[in-house]
């Protein structure tokens, strides 16, 4: 009888590997996928973060033109490793059954076979997503067992994550808050400040790394130069022809006129959307690439090319110009910009009701962590705060598409699984 149980248990434990095998086959059948950004990474464009470009470069050096399948296989193995680690952390903390763990693993791996099929795609999401899972696992475990050394361990994967996708710089203030909480709870035992100090200095380290990379690759000691081109896109979309009056610099005046006129001609302004009774936020999200890439970016490079600047100098000059214009445009149209940001933020959650639900979850779990120190509420709090921080950033800087927001969707399902698991255990104990 015991032998039968052992065989059954062994087979049950093999279920996740069968899942990985099935999903892996689907990835191979569907892939590979190339997107416009794929070629920018392959060309090691200066306006893209370095890690994924170097990742692709490594495989191209080894496999030449046959690099694509080794890349996809490696991306899939990295994802499996991250899912395995996170699911084991959650299983130990919450004593999940094998079925509950399997459902969680299926949810975690599902972005490989829907949405952008990230594992089979030549996109930075293929490695940033598993890095997000690893960083979350370390941060949550540190929060749950009050071990600040785990935050120290999280800095290495977090470093690669931020240099893969800069949006995850928002993890830093959240982890600093977690570190302060851990030190407060452990004040009678030991207080360690090194992880918190390193987290505070983290943006400096990543900035220096990015500058050194650009110096070695392109000969310019600068950060990636297109941040403000993305940030200013919403301001251009919301602007009117009279907005030009706020500028006094000749380059700002001329560039604004060129971009605004182009947007107006193709009816990609809020005024055009309102005149046609269309949703201004939907027009913006659906046409973000046409607004940002085809107008603000391309027309900006052309503007500085005519001034005799080379390709790299065009990028630096354009980013500097947009930076100066952004703060003026933000101040001039502050209320409309805030209102537009809120609309964009709602879209990252699907609806205003979902956004409100997560705000309630954060508030309630914060109170419960303060009162009970319960592990499940720590999970809900950390996951919800990280999701909100990520969504706030992308809603302000860019646009609310799944490609930038999907990283924490699994949190919603994980919360449901954990709550049902806790209820099941309570019911079993009562009976």
Residue 11 pLDDT class (50, 70, 90 cuts) = low
Whether 199 is covered by a domain: the verdict is no
Same domain, 291 and 371: no
Classify residue 152: in a domain, yes or no: no
Q: How many percent of the chain have pLDDT more than 90? A: 65
Are residues 424 and 353 part of one domain?
yes
Residue 366 buriedness (CB in 10 A; 0-12 / 13-18 / 19+): middle
Q: 254 and 299 in one domain?
A: yes
Range of the domain at 246: 227-332
- Is the confidence at residue 46, as pLDDT, over 90? no
Q: Given this model, what pLDDT does residue 371 score? A: 92
**Residue 92 belongs to some domain of the structure:** no
pLDDT value, residue 158: 97
Mean of pLDDT values over 239-257: 94
Same domain, residue pair 295 and 315: yes
Give the end of a domain, one of 332, 366, 400: 332
Alpha carbon distance 203, 174 (integer Å): 14
* 296 assigned to some structural domain: yes
Does 352 lie in the same domain as 405? yes
Listed residues 332, 364, 382: the one ending a domain: 332
In this predicted structure, the answer to whether residue 70 has a pLDDT above a threshold of 50 is: yes
What element of type H or E holds 425?
Answer: helix 409-430
Same domain (yes/no): 317, 385: no
Backbone conformation region of residue 69, classed left if phi is above 0, alpha if psi is from -120 to 50, else beta? alpha
Which of 150-154, 192-196, 221-225, 277-281 shows the lowest mean pLDDT across its residues? 221-225
Position 429 scores a pLDDT of 67
Interatomic CA distance for residues 309 and 316, integer angstroms: 10
Give yes or no for residue 262 having a pLDDT over 90: yes
Domain total for the chain? 2
Which pLDDT score, from 0 to 100, does residue 117 have? 76
Question: Which range has the worst mean pLDDT, 280-284, 390-394, 401-405, 412-416?
Answer: 401-405
The answer to whether residue 412 is domain-embedded is yes
369 with 386, same domain?
yes
**Do the domain assignments include residue 100?**
no
Is there a contact between 260 and 228 (Cβ–Cβ < 8 Å)? no
Tell me, yes or no, whether 249 and 282 share the same domain: yes
314 and 355 inside one domain: no
| Percent of the chain predicted with pLDDT > 70 | 94
Among residues 278, 307, 332, which one ends one of the domains?
A: 332
Residues 342 and 316 in one domain: no
* 375 shares a domain with 322: no
CB atoms within 10 A of CB 96: 19
Confidence class of residue 4 from pLDDT cuts 50, 70 and 90?
very low
Collapsing DSSP to helix, strand or coil, 121 comes out as strand
Instruction: Give yes or no for a contact between 116 and 403, defined as CB atoms under 8 angstroms apart.
Output: yes
Please determine, for residue 330, whether its predicted confidence score (pLDDT) is greater than 50. Answer: yes
| Rounded distance between C-alpha atoms, residue 289 and residue 237, angstroms | 12
Q: Can you tell me the mean pLDDT for 70-82? A: 95
Which tens digits make up the pLDDT trace of 333-366?
999 999 999 999 998 888 888 889 899 999 999 9
Residue 33's DSSP bridge partners are 121
* pLDDT of the residue at 192: 82
Do residues 328 and 349 share a domain?
A: no
Q: Is the pLDDT of residue 191 over 70?
A: no
Give pLDDT, residue 189. 63
Structure token pair of residue 351: 């609806």
pLDDT (average), residues 111-124: 84
Supply the pLDDT for residue 31.
76
- Any domain includes 203: no
In a domain, 307, yes or no: yes
- The SS3 assignment for 33 reads strand
**Of 206, 209, 42, 64, the residue nearest 124 (C-alpha):** 42
User: How sure is the predictor about 9, in pLDDT bands with cuts at 50, 70 and 90?
Assistant: very low
Tell me the C-alpha distance between 156 and 205, whole Å: 12
pLDDT averaged over every residue in the chain: 89
């Amino acid at each position: 009888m015991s032998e039968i149980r052992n065989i059954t248990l062994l087979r049950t434990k093999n279920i996740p590997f069968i899942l990985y095998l099935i999903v892996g086959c689907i990835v191979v059948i569907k892939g590979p996928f190339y997107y416009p950004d794929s070629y920018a990474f392959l060309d090691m464009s200066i306006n893209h973060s370095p890690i994924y470009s170097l990742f692709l470069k490594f495989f191209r050096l080894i496999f030449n033109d046959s690099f694509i399948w080794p890349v996809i296989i490696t991306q899939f193995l990295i994802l499996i490793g991250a899912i395995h680690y996170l699911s084991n952390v959650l299983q130990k903390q919450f004593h999940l059954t094998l079925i509950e763990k399997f459902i969680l693993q299926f949810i975690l791996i599902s972005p490989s076979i829907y949405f952008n099929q990230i594992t089979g795609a030549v996109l930075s999401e293929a490695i940033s997503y598993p890095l997000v899972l690893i960083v979350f696992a370390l941060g949550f475990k540190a929060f749950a067992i009050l071990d600040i050394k785990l935050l120290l361990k999280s800095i290495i994967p977090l470093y690669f994550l931020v240099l893969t996708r800069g949006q995850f710089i928002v993890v830093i203030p959240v982890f600093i808050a977690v570190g302060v909480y851990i030190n407060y709870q452990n004040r009678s035992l030991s207080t360690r400040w090194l992880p918190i100090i390193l987290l505070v200095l983290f943006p400096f380290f990543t900035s220096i790394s990015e500058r050194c990379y650009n110096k070695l690759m392109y000969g310019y000691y600068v950060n990636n130069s297109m941040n403000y081109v993305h940030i200013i896109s919403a301001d251009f979309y919301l602007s009117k022809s009279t907005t030009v009056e706020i500028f006094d610099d000749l380059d700002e005046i001329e560039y604004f006129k060129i971009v605004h006129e182009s947007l107006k001609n193709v009816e990609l302004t809020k005024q055009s959307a309102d005149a046609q009774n269309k949703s201004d936020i939907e027009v913006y999200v659906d046409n973000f690439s046409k607004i940002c890439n085809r107008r603000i970016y391309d027309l900006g490079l052309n503007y500085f090319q005519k001034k005799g600047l080379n390709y790299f100098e065009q990028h630096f000059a354009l980013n500097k110009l947009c930076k100066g214009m952004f703060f003026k445009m933000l101040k001039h149209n502050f209320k409309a910009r805030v209102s537009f940001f809120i609309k964009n933020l709602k879209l990252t959650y699907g609806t205003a009701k979902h956004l409100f639900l997560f705000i309630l979850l954060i508030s309630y779990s914060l109170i419960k962590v303060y009162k009970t120190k319960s592990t499940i509420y720590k999970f809900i709090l950390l996951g919800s705060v990280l999701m909100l921080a990520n969504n706030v950033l992308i809603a302000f800087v860019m646009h609310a598409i799944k490609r930038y927001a999907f990283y924490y969707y699994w949190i919603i399902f994980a919360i449901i699984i954990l709550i049902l698991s806790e209820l099941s255990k309570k019911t079993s104990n009562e009976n």
